[in-house]
Amino acid sequence: MTKVKTAVKAKKVRLDASDRIVRGFAYVFISLFAALCLFPFLLIVATSFSSEKSIMQYGFQIWPREFSLYAYQLIFKTPMVMIKTYGLTIGLTVAGTIIGLFIVAMTGYALCRPDFPFRNGISFYIYFTTLFSGGLVPFYLLVVKYLHLKDSYFAILLPLLMSPWLIILMKNFVKGIPFEITESGKIDGANDFKIFTSLILPMMTPGLATIGLFIALGYWNEWYYSSLFLSSKVDVRPLQYQLYRIINEVNSLKNSVAGANIVVTDLPDESLKMATAVLATGPIIFLYPSVQKYFISGITVGAVKG
C-alpha cells in the first residue's frame, strides 16, 4: 500500500537539476531587474537630501555625501505654492474621475445591452476615433479659438474624461453581468437609467475601481494638456506640469520659492528640483502598491478582447 503511495508522490514532485538552475537564475535575474527599476528613484531622493555644494563637487550620488534639508526647508517656507498645486491637482483628479467614470460606466452598460439596436453603430462611432484623427492642430484650434478655453482648467478636465479604450474595457467588465438582472428590473417597472444606477452599478465594483484608477492616474500625471493650454498667466498648475516648468525654466524655479526671499545666486537649483520631484511623486509611490492589482486586472481583462 505505502509503496504505491510513494510511487505516485514521486511522479508528481520531481525537481531535477535543470529546475534548480532555472529557478536560481530566475531569482537572480528578477532581483537585479527589480533593483534596476528602483534605482533611479533612490538617486532622486538622495539628491534631494544633499547639500547643493556636495552636488556641485561630487555630482548626483546614491547616498548624500553631505546631508542637507535646505531644499525642503525652502519649499516649506513658501508652502502656498505646493498647497495650491496639490489642491488643484486633487480637485481635478476627483472631479474628473467621478464624472468620467460615471459616463464611461453608463455608456458601457448601454452598449452591452443585447436588446439595444443602436449599440453596434455607437460602438463603431466611438471606436473609429482610434483609427483616424484630425491631429493636434485642429484639436488645438478647437479648444483655443472656438471653445475659448485657453488658460482654463476645463481645457484639462474635459479631454481626460474618457477614452475609447476605457469604454471598451468597461464593456468587458459589464459583459459578466447577466441580462436577467436587467429583465427583473424591467418587470419591476424601472426604466433603463434606474436599473443602471440601482441594480447594475453596485455589481460593477471591481470594474469601477479599475477604470476609476486608470482615469485618476491620467489626471494625476497630466502635463500634456497643461503645456498646450496653460500660459504663463496661469499661476497654479497641475502637479506634473509644475514640475516640468521648474525643471525646464529657471524663472519657474525661482518663483516656486519666491516668498522665501532668497538671493537668486544662492538658489540650490539641483536639490530644489529633486525635492519638488519627490513631493510630486511621493503620493503615487506610497499608494500604488495597494492599488496595483486593479491595474493588473485592467490589462488582463482588456487583453482578452482587444
Binders of another protein among 208-247, rule CB under 8 A? Answer: 217, 221-224, 227-228, 240-241, 243-244, 247
Whole-number CA gyration radius for the chain: 26
Alpha carbons 55 and 65: distance in angstroms, whole number? 8
Least distance in angstroms from the C-beta of 146 to another protein: 9
Footprint (CB under 8 A) of another protein, residues 17-36: 17-19, 21-23, 25-27, 29-31, 33-36
The footprint of another protein on this chain (CB under 8 A) covers a number of residues equal to 105
Q: In a 3-state reduction of DSSP, which class is residue 67?
A: strand
- Candidates 74, 92, 169, 277; binder of another protein (CB under 8 A) is 277
Per 3-state DSSP, the chain is made up of helix, strand and coil in percentages (nearest 5) of 75, 0, 25
Footprint (CB under 8 A) of another protein, residues 62-91: 62
DSSP 175: T
Least distance in angstroms from the C-beta of 48 to another protein: 11
End-to-end alpha-carbon separation of the chain, Å?
Answer: 53
- Candidates 3, 5, 9, 12; binder of another protein (CB under 8 A) is 12
Question: Which set of grid coordinates corresponds to residue 291?
Answer: 492599488
Give the sign of the dihedral formed by CA 68, CA 73, CA 74, CA 79: positive
Of 114 and 259, which has the nearer Cβ to another protein? 114
Least distance in angstroms from the C-beta of 86 to another protein: 15
Of 247 and 250, which has the nearer Cβ to another protein? 247
Footprint (CB under 8 A) of another protein, residues 102-141: 103-104, 106-107, 109-111, 113, 116-118, 122, 124-127, 129, 131-141
* Separation in Å, CA 5 to CA 1, 12, 111: 7, 11, 55
Least distance in angstroms from the C-beta of 150 to another protein: 12
Of 76 and 295, which has the nearer Cβ to another protein? 295
Region at 135 (left for phi over 0; alpha for psi -120 to 50; beta for the rest):
left
Question: Which set of grid coordinates corresponds to residue 137?
Answer: 492642430
Kindly report the backbone phi and psi dihedral angles of residue 129, in degrees, each rounded to the nearest multiple of 5, phi listed first: -65, -15
Footprint (CB under 8 A) of another protein, residues 156-215: 158-159, 161-162, 164, 167, 191-193, 196
Least distance in angstroms from the C-beta of 33 to another protein: 7
Q: Compose the 256-275 pattern: x for residues touching another protein by CB under 8 A, - for all others.
A: --------------x--xx-
Alpha carbons 141 and 136: distance in angstroms, whole number? 9
Of 22 and 259, which has the nearer Cβ to another protein? 22
Least distance in angstroms from the C-beta of 273 to another protein: 7
Contacts from 199-204 at CB under 8 Å and sequence distance 24+?
200/109, 200/174, 201/105, 203/177, 204/105, 204/173, 204/174, 204/177
Least distance in angstroms from the C-beta of 80 to another protein: 22
> Cβ atoms within 10 A of the Cβ of 91, count?
14
151 binds another protein (CB under 8 A): no
Least distance in angstroms from the C-beta of 158 to another protein: 8
